[in-house]
């Protein structure tokens, strides 16, 4: 089966996802032996990565458990979603809050998936005690289980060679070398992790990039950016990278929620190598390429 790239729906919806630009960015992934992605979130780049052997990690345990379930038990993932979704249709909104309470006690990865699919704007949001606190999206019932099963099975195929790890990005990158290609999509500088409450420290991150340069690993980094008139520019030190460009990654979720004028978000893309072609910066003009799914 051939799937046009632009209709591969996300399996895990994630705020800050690189879904719109993944087909474009992947053109710059060179032919290394291993692909590493240490901030995996919703994993939008994974189906496009062109390097089968891969390591992907994140600091959120239930997210990593969910990725592993999608990889090894896709049928069960689909069934678990269907069970909860059917109950929601027959018994009403209370089911969402039951699942949420249960998730906050157990951090069950199937509850997590169901919540991400039925909460307001799909925003994964936690309070200071680390409890999921977003509400149910009243007018949207969540994706139909039959359609969702197809999406889960496709993704399971695309991630079959990926090793998922739950750890800090520095641990994932510890053994990176000249045979590796690293794709980096970190949180904004200064943001605190929802679980460990550890801050994402830019200076430590820059050191890690320098270390990757010194061992000869190739990397692409999407970072900071601009939303409307607001700038998030952390000015990556010039000596760390070789090339920089901007790419439109979508619209700001915050201005969308607040129903003010929707701001376009541009993200900076840094390379530690010279890409052979310029990035096409308007994703809507891309010619649809295809992914082969057998």
Ligand X SMILES: C[S@@+](CC[C@H](N)C(=O)[O-])C[C@H]1O[C@@H](n2cnc3c(N)ncnc32)[C@H](O)[C@@H]1O
User: 38 or 250: whose CB is closer to ligand X?
Assistant: 38
Position 38 contacts ligand X (CB under 6 A): yes
Q: Does 48 bind ligand X (CB under 6 A)?
A: no
Handedness of CA 276, 279, 283, 285 (dihedral sign): negative
By CB under 6 A, is residue 200 in contact with ligand X? yes
**92 to each of 86, 96, 98, 252, 256, how far by Cα in Å?**
10, 8, 11, 31, 27
Binding mask 54-83 for ligand X (x = CB under 6 A): ----xxx-----------------------
- Nearest approach in angstroms of CB 145 to ligand X is 23
Q: Which residue has the tokens 């070789």?
A: 242
- Of 52-60, 99-107, 231-239, 263-271, which part binds ligand X (CB under 6 A)? 52-60
Region binding ligand X by CB under 6 A among candidate stretches 42-50, 114-122, 141-149, 206-214:
42-50
Binding mask 252-271 for ligand X (x = CB under 6 A): --------------------
What CA–CA distance (Å, rounded) separates 21 from 44? Answer: 9
225 sits near ligand X (criterion: CB under 6 A): no
Q: Residue from 32, 44, 69, 252 that binds ligand X (CB under 6 A)?
A: 44
Contact call for residue 193 and ligand X (CB under 6 A): yes
| Total of chain residues touching ligand X, rule CB under 6 A | 20
CA distance 161 to 196: 29
| Residue among 254, 206, 202 nearest 230 (CA) | 254
Q: Is the C-alpha dihedral spanning 271, 274, 275, 280 positive or negative?
A: positive
Work out which of 24, 109, 168, 180 binds ligand X, going by CB under 6 A. 168
Asked whether position 39 contacts ligand X by CB under 6 A, the answer is: yes
Cα–Cα distance measured from residue 81 to residue 27, given in angstroms and rounded to the nearest whole number: 34
Which lies closer to ligand X via its Cβ, residue 43 or residue 74? Answer: 43
Binding status of residue 18 toward ligand X by CB under 6 A:
yes
- Count of beta carbons in the 10 Å neighbourhood of residue 284: 7
Q: How far is CA 232 from CA 66, 111, 167, 238, 268, in A?
A: 31, 33, 26, 17, 10
Q: Specify the residue, 63 or 88, whose C-beta has the smaller distance to ligand X.
A: 63
CB-closest chain residue to ligand X:
41
Cα(29)–Cα(50) distance, integer angstroms: 8
The binding site for ligand X (CB under 6 A) comprises 14, 16-18, 38-39, 41-44, 58-60, 168-169, 185-187, 193, 200
């Amino acid at each position: 089966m051939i799937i046009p790239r632009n209709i591969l729906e996300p399996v895990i919806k994630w705020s800050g996802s690189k879904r719109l630009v993944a087909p474009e960015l992947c053109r710059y992934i060179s032919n290394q032996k291993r692909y590493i992605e240490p901030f995996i979130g919703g994993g939008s780049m994974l189906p496009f990565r062109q390097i089968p052997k891969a390591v992907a990690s994140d600091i959120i345990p239930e997210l990593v458990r969910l990725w592993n379930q999608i990889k090894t038990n896709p049928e069960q993932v689909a069934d678990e979603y269907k069970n909860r979704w059917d109950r929601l249709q027959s018994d009403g909104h209370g089911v969402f809050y039951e699942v949420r309470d249960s998730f906050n006690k157990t951090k069950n990865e199937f509850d997590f998936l169901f919540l991400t699919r039925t909460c307001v704007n799909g925003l994964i949001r936690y309070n200071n005690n680390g409890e999921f606190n977003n509400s149910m999206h009243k007018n949207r019932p969540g994706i139909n289980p039959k359609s969702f099963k197809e999406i889960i099975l496709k993704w399971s195929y695309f991630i079959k060679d990926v090793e998922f790890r739950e750890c800090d990005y520095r641990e994932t990158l510890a053994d990176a070398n000249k045979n590796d290609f690293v794709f980096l999509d970190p949180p904004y500088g200064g943001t605190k992790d929802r679980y460990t409450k550890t801050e994402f420290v830019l200076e430590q991150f820059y050191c890690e990039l320098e270390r990757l340069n010194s061992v000869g690993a190739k990397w692409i980094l999407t970072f900071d950016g601009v939303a409307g008139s607001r700038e998030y520019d952390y000015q990556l030190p010039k000596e760390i990278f070789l090339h920089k460009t901007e790419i439109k990654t979508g619209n700001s979720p915050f201005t969308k929620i607040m129903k003010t004028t929707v701001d376009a978000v541009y993200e900076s893309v840094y390379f530690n190598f010279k890409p052979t072609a310029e990035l096409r910066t308007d994703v809507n003009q891309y010619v649809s390429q295809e992914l082969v799914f057998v």
